[in-house]
Structure 1
Amino acid sequence: MNYDILRDKWDQVQGELMKWWERLNDDDLQRIDGSSDELARLLQERYGYSQQEALFQIDEFLEKTEAKLHLLQQQR
C-alpha cells in the first residue's frame, strides 16, 4: 500500500481516521501527523492489534479513503 497518501493527504484524512478508529483522539492525531508507523503503534496500543493486523487495517482504511477522496475530486 502507498502510505504516502496518509502523509500527503493528512489534513483530508484526519476526520475519516477518527470515524474509522473511534478510540483515537486529538492528541493521537497530533502524534500520528501523517506517519503510518505511528498510526500502527497507536492501533496496537489502543486495539491490541499485532503489527501485521495494524498494517492490514491501515491498508484497508487507505484503500477506502483514497477511493472516497478520488470521487470527491471528480465531483468538483
Structure 2
Amino acid sequence: MNWDQIQGNWTQFKGKLREQYGELTDDEIEEAKGDREQLIGKIQAKYGKTKEQAKKEVDNFVDSI
C-alpha cells in the first residue's frame, strides 16, 4: 500500500492507527488527515522518538498493511 492509497482510505486507516498507536487520541489522528509528515510529527511528539525513528515506524507500518 502506498501513501496515496492511505490518504484515499483515511477513514479505514484510522482504525489501524488506533490499534498500533494507542496513545494517539482520535483528535490527533483526525488532525493528520492523511498527511504523512503530520502523522510522523504526532508520533514523534507523543512517543518521544526522533523524526527518523518515527518515519521508519510509519514506513514499516504502511508496509505491513
Larger displacement relative to structure 2 (30-39 or 1-10):
1-10
State the distance in 2 between where 1:5 and 1:36 align: 12
What is the distance in 2 between the residues matched to 1:6 and 1:25?
19
Task: Supply the distance in 1 between the matched residues of 2:5 and 2:46 (Cα, whole angstroms).
Answer: 23
% identical aligned pairs: 28
Distance of 2:30 and 2:17 partners within structure 1: 12
2:8 partner letter: D
Structure-1-length-normalised TM-score: 0.77
Structure 1 stretches of 4+ moved >6 Å: none
* Residue-by-residue CA offset, 1:33-67 (whole Å, 9 max, x unaligned): 111111000011000111111110001111112xx
Larger Rg: 1
Contact 1:32 1:38 in 2 (8 A): yes
**Take 2:44 and 2:14, find their aligned partners in 1: how far apart are those partners?**
18
Q: Which runs of 5+ in 1 are unaligned?
A: 66-76
Aligned-residue CA RMSD (Å) = 1.4
> 2:35 is matched with which residue?
35
Count matched residues.
Answer: 65
Q: Which residue of 1 aligns with 2:2?
A: 2
